[in-house]
Structure 1
Amino acid sequence: MSAASKHGSTREIAAVVAQALESAGIACDVVEPADVATATGYDAVVVGSAVYIGQWLPDARDLVDRLAEQLREVPVWLFSSGLADQPSKRGNSAPATTARVESLGARGHRHFPGKLDVLQLSLAERATILAARGKYGDNRDMDAVRAWGEGIAAELVAEPARTA
């Protein structure tokens, strides 16, 4: 499990997914994207990122690009967290995200609304959020996050064990 998070909100989403996996008996490492050197040795991978100006953060994009070949060899799920509050909004189906899902053969991508704490934002970030009509506050639905993690766990538990 790896998630790029600028202010910690997306990292908290990753922790809830990890808890759901661990509750199903699946060992789960939560590692910062920049600290992931290899996907070798993992039976599945979940990668997430906060979305700013319609894009994943550089550390998450870099992880997926660097390890793409390895990630194609294991079940992969992706998630995004950001301003949009509806999965059908244009920002959630950006061409880059669609290409990432297709390139990796990811089993799915889920967008979760994020959290905006005005006190953590720079003046430039506040201006960008205002221009995008972002909603301040915690818009995350951790029950939906947990349910998504439980769905991943159920899928993994139902699969026969991989052999190296």
Structure 2
Amino acid sequence: MTGQVLVAYGTKNGSTAQIAQAIAEVLTERGMTADARAAGEVADIAPYTAVILGGALYTGRWHPDARRFAARHRKALAERPVWLFSSGPLDASASEREIPPVAGVRRLMVRLDAREHVTFGGRLEKGAKGRVARMIVDSGRGGDFRDFARIRAWAAGVADALVTEEKAGEVRG
């Protein structure tokens, strides 16, 4: 693929940023130019031919930076292929079954005509920001539940879809 892919993310404790980076690495390995960037730092998406947007889940809602990014760039996102991902379950459930998007993300999928959404396990460990996060860790319910093999496989599927769409003339390069 000749275009650039933006992997934007909203994160509080860095776990979602690491997922975004892994996705960008897979796209790069597949010959694409991919940038993993914090959603709050992206002023313009014009250079990008496709966007993957991810957000950490907190109490059933996407990270505010991911939500604001989607609102701020709504028109431009509607003009390019978009994939969404969430991170957050603090157990193995995301690796064991498909977890549907939370209500707000489901609405975004429709508004943005997103190709797909996937939920990955999250990570919450000692030193986490936020009172509730610290309470979860202190209660012994924290840990790292990210499945990087699954994340990389999903990213490879996105790369394959982008190549197919470009060959079909559906993505500008």
Per the normalisation by structure 2, the TM-score is 0.84
Amino acid at match of 1:70: A
Give the match for residue 34 of structure 1.
40
Per the normalisation by structure 1, the TM-score is 0.88
What RMSD over aligned residues (CA atoms) do the two structures have, in Å? 2.0
Identical-pair percentage: 36
Deviation of residue 134 (structure 1)? 8.3
Amino acid at match of 2:145: N
Structure 1 position 102 matched with structure 2 position 110: yes
> Quick one: distance in 2 between partners of 1:27 and 1:72?
21
**Partners of 1:13 and 1:145 within 8 A in 2:** yes
Higher strand share: 2
Structure 1 position 15 matched with structure 2 position 21: yes
Instruction: Flag structure 1 segments of 5+ consecutive residues without an equivalent.
Output: none
- 2:48 match: secondary structure: coil
Runs of 4+ in 1 over 6 A off after TM superposition: none
**Partners of 1:83 and 1:134 within 8 A in 2:** no
Q: 1:45 to 1:125 in 2, by over 3 A?
A: same
Give the match for residue 141 of structure 1.
147
> Quick one: distance in 2 between partners of 1:126 and 1:4?
19
Instruction: Flag structure 2 segments of 5+ consecutive residues without an equivalent.
Output: 1-6
Describe the superposition over 1:44-90 as per-residue Cα deviations: whole angstroms up to 9, x where unpaired: 0001011101111111100000101100100000000002534555x
The alignment of Structure 1 onto Structure 2 pairs a total of residues equal to 159
